[in-house]
Structure 1
Amino acid sequence: MIITTARRSQSELVSRANKLANSFDLPYIERNGFSIEALKERYKDDIVVVGKDGLIIAPIKKETNIFFHPNLAMVRAKRMLKGEVDPLIQAIKLKEGMSFLDCTLGLASDSIIASIAVGNSGLVIGIEGNLLLYLLAKDGLASFTSGNKNIDQAMRKVQVVHQDHYSFLQQAASDSVDVVYFDPMFQASIDTSSGINSIRGQALFTDISAEVISEAKRVAKKRVVLKDHWKSKRFTQHGFMQLKRKTSLFHYGTIELT
């Protein structure tokens, strides 16, 4: 991929784009008035645009650009702050002070909710194997302003790591986090969220293997959690207790370790 700036680039955007390019050993290309489509045609690569409102990803094989936005997480977060119970937090029994490892971060919707639940004394780590999505999530969580200081604080607390989750789990210490969480792309597409649909082409479709689950069980102190289509065979295949929800097309499954 290449790094560039918004068409009307200011000095601070150019500086930020150069810093990002240097950090990941990626080429920085001056915009020089060219359209994004013209840059795609010229360089035959994905384009990362540094703008005043954050990063925009223009994938080479997709006409629609991708940008960070909490989407449904904002609705869920506001409900939580009013005292309502979030289905994810209820299912995985996440409480203040606990640690949460999100092995399939994406655009961090569930990690934001987890960060609110664990509070200032807790820990949330998100793993993302795709570099484009990692850049979006890391930049967005660090800079997006929701208008609610509690939600913004929760986003800032999420630690984002660029690595495949199996390698991360292999390197992690035993019993080092309370909950290890997986939300792989559903094998049957059911999600109507514009956020999910926008990243579907970029997301890693690596299946959850027995080896991954084995490592997750070693790393987790309390439980391993899977979010999947209600018909998914992964629940029984890997020994998850499926928590059925009559009104939802996706379910949570847990492997209790304590």
Structure 2
Amino acid sequence: MTERNEVKDFNVVVTTSHQPDAEQVKKARELARSLGFPYVSRKRLKSISRPSLLVYVLEKNGRLVLVSEAGRLFFHPSAAKIRFINLKKGLSDHLIKALSPEGYEQVLDLTFGLGSEAILMAHFLPKGKVVGLEASVHIYNVVRYGMIHFLQSTVKPEEEWIKDAIRRIVLINADFREYVKNTPEESFDVVYCDPMFEQPKYASSSMNPLRPVAVYDTLSKEDVESFLRICRKKVIIKFHREDTWFKELEFHWITGSKKSGVFYGVIEKR
């Protein structure tokens, strides 16, 4: 099957890892069709390579990776695993402290990202769920595919909790302002928002591949008021002490780490 010559005009393509077998190529072509991007064979990729090109790579193990100048972006619940292990050791987690889950809550995560915090929250909601919004179509594609692949994979017994948590997550590709505007009052128990920090922490290498494709939004008082409208219990906002936008918000209480500078501000629905 020949590839389209006009592929050079695209900024996004789908390919395989090196030396793919026929089944891998077939799956990559199917993925390209479902995502709406052109398929390019691995051999031809070098001839169209340029700094602005985003490349979805379907690897031999079934993992989907988005490759850009910033690095390799793929779904990995490692941050959730680390925080879960710390909780099992008896350590506190500031997000879970802010959430104070009773187990039944319906949580709206406005800024899903790689989903680590949504997975952690969903673990504590055996009778609830997390609806996650991701505005970036590329992050959404990678994470949605990654979660499905994780559910279909064999994992260690100590990681089964991640599968259970993922089953309680609904991921939607949507801008949070548009979604909130069209959501009825008190539709969720908790609304959570984690905007990108104003001053990127480049030491966080796991976050760097997100930056070229992420959607950057700061919050206003009006945004928070709209969050309060659609929640029944509380709004939780994550911020860094170097951010400036959060200073106009009035939190009822804050929990976080002075060492890392990361905090969770809670506004109760009263």
**CA apart distance, 1:170:** 1.4
CA distance in 2, matches of 1:105, 1:80: 21
**CA apart distance, 1:44:** 5.6
Q: Please tell me whether the aligned partners of residues 80 and 119 of structure 2 are also in contact (alpha carbons under 8 angstroms).
A: yes
Match of 2:247 among 231, 236, 246: 236
CA distance in 1, matches of 2:41, 2:229: 47
Quote the residue 2:57 is aligned against. Answer: 49
**CA apart distance, 1:94:** 2.4
**CA apart distance, 1:82:** 5.6
Using the size of structure 1 for normalisation, the TM-score is: 0.86
CA distance in 1, matches of 2:223, 2:32: 32
CA distance in 2, matches of 1:219, 1:21: 36
**CA apart distance, 1:151:** 1.7
Residues 142 and 91 of structure 1: is their aligned pair in 2 closer, same or farther, counting only changes over 3 Å? Answer: same
Quote the residue 2:179 is aligned against. Answer: 168
Q: Please tell me whether the aligned partners of residues 40 and 46 of structure 1 are also in contact (alpha carbons under 8 angstroms).
A: no
**CA apart distance, 1:84:** 4.7
CA distance in 2, matches of 1:210, 1:88: 21
Quote the residue 1:73 is aligned against. Answer: 80
- What are the ranges of 5 or more consecutive residues in structure 1 without an aligned counterpart? none
Runs of 4+ more than 6 Å apart: none
Match of 2:36 among 20, 25, 32: 25
Residues 176 and 45 of structure 1: is their aligned pair in 2 closer, same or farther, counting only changes over 3 Å? Answer: same
Letter in 2 for 1:55: L
CA distance in 2, matches of 1:175, 1:50: 40
Q: Please tell me whether the aligned partners of residues 253 and 267 of structure 2 are also in contact (alpha carbons under 8 angstroms).
A: no
Quote the residue 2:263 is aligned against. Answer: 251
3-state SS of paired residue (1:194): coil
CA distance in 2, matches of 1:116, 1:156: 10
Aligned length: 252
Match of 1:218 among 204, 207, 229: 229
**CA apart distance, 1:161:** 0.9
3-state SS of paired residue (2:124): helix
**CA apart distance, 1:74:** 1.2
CA distance in 2, matches of 1:198, 1:12: 28
Correspondence 1:139-154 to 2 at 5 A: 139-144=145-150, 147=156, 148-154=159-165
CA distance in 1, matches of 2:245, 2:101: 22
Quote the residue 1:134 is aligned against. Answer: 140
**CA apart distance, 1:179:** 0.9
* Alignment deviations for residues 157-193 of structure 1 (CA, whole Å, 9 cap, x no partner): 3211111111111122221111111111111234733
Letter in 2 for 1:177: F
Letter in 1 for 2:63: G
Residues 140 and 257 of structure 1: is their aligned pair in 2 closer, same or farther, counting only changes over 3 Å? Answer: same
CA distance in 2, matches of 1:211, 1:20: 39
Letter in 2 for 1:125: V
- What are the ranges of 5 or more consecutive residues in structure 2 without an aligned counterpart? 1-11
Letter in 2 for 1:132: H
**CA apart distance, 1:98:** 0.9
* Alignment deviations for residues 180-238 of structure 1 (CA, whole Å, 9 cap, x no partner): 11111111234733212232232211222334323211111111111001243333313
CA distance in 1, matches of 2:142, 2:101: 26
1:183 maps to 2:194: yes
Using the size of structure 2 for normalisation, the TM-score is: 0.83
